[in-house]
Amino acid sequence: MKEFAQLINSLDSTNKTSLKTEAIVQYLEHAENRDKLWFLSLFTGRRPKRQVSTALMREWVKEIVDIPDWLFMESYSSVGDLAETISLLLPNPTGSVDLALSEWMDRILDLHVKSDEEKKAFVLHAWQGLPHQERFIFNKLLGGSFRVGISAKSLINAIALYSGLDASAVAHSIMGEWLIDDVDFDLLIKGQYVNTNLSKPYPFCLAYPLENLEKTIVDPQEWQAEYKWDGIRGQIIKRADEIFIWSRGEELVTDQFPELVREFSNWQGDFVLDGEILAILDGEVLNFTFLQKRLNRKSVTDKMQRDIPVSMLLYDLLELNQEDLRHTAMASRRERLEQLFQENQSSSISLSPLIEFQDLDTLHALRASARENNSEGLMLKHKNSIYHAGRKRGDWWKWKIDPLSIDAVLIYAQKGSGRRSGYYTDYTFAVRDGDKLVSIAKAYSGLTDKEIQEVSRFINKNAIEKFGPVRTVKPELVFEIAFEGIGWSSRHKSGIALRFPRIARWRRDKTVEEIDELEEVKKLIK
């Protein structure tokens, strides 16, 4: 645990990718096999379920240090992270507990069959024997909220540097389903288990945002264009008559789309397809908020399948009858995809249509009208491009339409975490509904550090009420909120939900009387 805590501290102490990579390589060179596997599991989002509720952890620490709830919440508000707050409040350790990361994880997992009193005894013993940094990591692991300050791409590159392997090969090897007790770390990253796991997906090929069409697309005849859809990017895998559906977030979502499983089960041959899962009714692509109702469910009822039917628009063919096609040209893969589709005619699956264009003016016009068919813009792919792992500048581009925007007023704020724990960075905004304000969106990004400091000073002076770490703010600061889409929602007070909201700019020139009306915002819903 000491070495793992040192690794986390090293990652949190720098913004330099090279130093983060160096810290990971150093850890992997000295860690035991099961510790490396737990490291990989935690860093790739395979966190175990929470075994001890945060409410119990809060009660135990308040009991130990003998403080009232309001003081604990004030401390939590100031620090911005529950695990760190608990670690800081606890007295210095009175003993020493020295276990490997894997030993801690085994004992934490064993808690699911323990009583609350047994859990308390275990946690208190750990708190008494761990110094601050290790105690902080223990709390994170215990609460199931473990996050790390490194991107997935940087993690892959670090493992590739440690192993001397190609980064794309490493990415392929560690995706999919694997269990810590069934694999060896070095064999796993070398791809030893790839062929024995039928569900193994490929790393997704991703696109860069297009900034200048004229400078990027020199010869239009070398490019193909498709609409960019707002759904769930997924891979359909059919091997040995078994169907697996993977999301771009490396989640196995097969059970959430039973109609796709039924459909592709009838297709001939083995294959791996890349495409977009969409809610489509009567030939019309529905707003993402409809598809969202289908997500993260253990079972999907027949009624939900009828009310929100899903389909898939196919983009690419990555594997056909055990042949890896990723290094063949895009045009060739598209041709074979069309052939496979013709051999397996389907009423619920479609090919993503290629858009005919002869010049760049046509592309400009197509992008400008993309929202009319509920798409996010255009995808431009070079006809000779291979299917890369991750992003590679120059081959695939996403050219999104300009975001929608509204003017809203700040009404709630909460302090951030990490290096921003001393400032208010989590904001809730409202629009006008008659003579009252109604919350419409949360946003966490878009302001400069200087603006964040300025907003925080305003909040400190103009906070009206406190609800734990949340502050009700005097409604004066107006911001332009940009977002990608909008739809109806029964979960929000306003009755609508914004897709990917963020702060576009601080409207110092506007007052709260000039913010948007809810009824006008609703008219943006198509």
**pLDDT lower than 50: segments of the chain:** none
**Catalytic site residues?**
228
Domain check: are 259 and 357 in the same one? yes
Query: What pLDDT does residue 392 have?
Result: 83
| In contact, 239 and 198? CB cutoff 8 Å | yes
- Record the tokens describing residue 12, joined without a space: 């949190």
Domain check: are 389 and 276 in the same one? yes
Domain check: are 381 and 284 in the same one? yes
Question: Is 322 a member of any domain?
Answer: yes
User: Based on the structure, what is the number of domains in the chain?
Assistant: 3
Domain check: are 375 and 465 in the same one? no
Domain check: are 388 and 423 in the same one? no
| In contact, 46 and 389? CB cutoff 8 Å | no
Domain check: are 464 and 486 in the same one? yes
CA–CA separation, 92 vs 499, rounded Å? 45
Query: What pLDDT does residue 330 have?
Result: 96
Boundary of a domain, candidates 342, 374, 393: 393
The CATH code of the domain that includes 91 is: 1.10.3260.10
Query: What pLDDT does residue 518 have?
Result: 93
Query: b/e for 77-96, b at 16 or more Cβ within 10 A?
Result: bebbbbbbbbbebbeebeee
Query: What pLDDT does residue 195 have?
Result: 60
Q: What is the pLDDT of residues 467-516, one digit of tens each?
A: 777 899 999 999 999 988 888 887 778 888 888 899 999 999 899 999 99
Q: Which of 42, 182, 21 is nearest to 104 (CA)?
A: 42
Domain check: are 213 and 308 in the same one? yes
Domain check: are 350 and 233 in the same one? yes
Alpha helices in 144-251 (DSSP H): 152-163, 167-174, 185-189, 213-216
103: exposed, middle or buried (Cβ count in 10 Å: 0-12, 13-18, 19+)? middle
Domain check: are 121 and 7 in the same one? yes
Query: What pLDDT does residue 48 have?
Result: 77
| In contact, 39 and 26? CB cutoff 8 Å | no
CA–CA separation, 296 vs 105, rounded Å? 26
Question: Is 256 a member of any domain?
Answer: yes
| Residue ranges making up the domain that contains 501 | 404-522
- Record the tokens describing residue 388, joined without a space: 């890369």
Query: What pLDDT does residue 192 have?
Result: 83
Query: What pLDDT does residue 362 have?
Result: 93
Query: What pLDDT does residue 38 have?
Result: 92
